[in-house]
Amino acid sequence: MSNVACGTTPGIALRVVIKEKKVKILVPVKRVVDYNVKVRVKPDASDVDLANVKMSMNPFDEIAVEEAVRLKEAGIATEVVAVSAGVANCQETLRTAMAIGADRGILIQTDVELQPLAVAKLLQAVCAKEQPQLVLCGKQAIDDDANQTGQMLAGLMGWPQATFASKLVVAGQQATVTREIDGGLETIEVVLPAVVSTDLRLNEPRYATLPNIMKAKRKPLETTTPAALGVDVAPRLKTLKAAEPPKRTAGIKVADAADLVLKLKTEAKVI
């Protein structure tokens, strides 16, 4: 939509003001085992033991929330909606997103183990309802290390995808995204609506301040379910076994550079 305003005062040149259509951003956030926790496998090797483990927002999702909030602060985004799928405690993750600056939250509550395809379908249903112009998500969750959901959502929506973003510029109905690729950087231009996934260097998320944490508690949080969204979330992959990888053991200490080079040449024979 463009609005055209005409100056009527004689002697003043005609001024044309193009009003940019503003962007609504959806930010999916995942509740994962805190990145400082070293996870353990259950004694029966069926899965990872998540009992009494500290949970936090996935770090890449925090970067996504931060970027969305910055776009709002810059006057480019109108609204930032955080969405999380999973157990009731995902509310905490949504409150964290709102403390960073998201305007409201949507919880898709279920106790079923959610795999990336199921989450992408849930997000597709939310996109149909919320009509965002931009979905900003983390590139990968640090629990399953899948790196799939954003790309899957883009595919399901028929939208372009700009993954692994280290720089994002939104102007009008376009986003220019610098991507981290093997061997360097790539810059692409995508038409909105689009999915952008965040890499580490996009920004450094702020710490939520106490007043903002308090304020977040009063922001709207809507709860829905996969069934209400009409999405079948049954897992497609079955985990048969979870095991700890073989441990490396510490070797020896060497005295100095000369000793190290000697050992690498004669003992390890790698140089």
How many residues sit close enough to another protein to count as binding (CB under 8 A)?
78
Q: Does 51 participate in binding another protein (rule CB under 8 A)?
A: no
Instruction: Report d(CA 169, CA 176) in Å as an integer.
Output: 5
CA 173, distance to chain mean position in Å, is 21
**Under DSSP, is residue 91 helix (H, G, I), strand (E, B) or coil?**
helix
- Classify strands 194-198 and 134-138 as parallel, antiparallel or unpaired: parallel
CA 166, distance to chain mean position in Å, is 13
The site string for another protein over 66-105 (x = CB under 8 A, - otherwise) reads ----------------------------------------
Residue 138, Cβ density class (10 Å: 0-12 exposed, 13-18 middle, ≥19 buried)? buried
Q: Does 213 participate in binding another protein (rule CB under 8 A)?
A: no
Q: Does 167 participate in binding another protein (rule CB under 8 A)?
A: no
Q: Count of CB atoms within 10 A of residue 6's CB?
A: 8
Answer for the pair 101, 212: CB distance below 8 angstroms, yes or no: yes
Q: Which of 12, 51, 74, 243 binds another protein (CB under 8 A)?
A: 243
Least distance from C-beta 256 to another protein, angstroms?
7
Q: Count of CB atoms within 10 A of residue 191's CB?
A: 11
- Binding part of the chain for another protein, among 12-20, 80-88, 208-216, 251-259 by CB under 8 A, reads 251-259
Q: Does 171 participate in binding another protein (rule CB under 8 A)?
A: no
- Binding part of the chain for another protein, among 93-101, 105-113, 195-203, 218-226 by CB under 8 A, reads 195-203
Least distance from C-beta 96 to another protein, angstroms?
20
Q: Does 41 participate in binding another protein (rule CB under 8 A)?
A: yes
Q: Does 206 participate in binding another protein (rule CB under 8 A)?
A: no
Q: Which of 93, 96, 149, 203 binds another protein (CB under 8 A)?
A: 149
Least distance from C-beta 17 to another protein, angstroms?
27
Q: Which DSSP state fits 19?
A: P
Instruction: Report d(CA 96, CA 207) in Å as an integer.
Output: 10
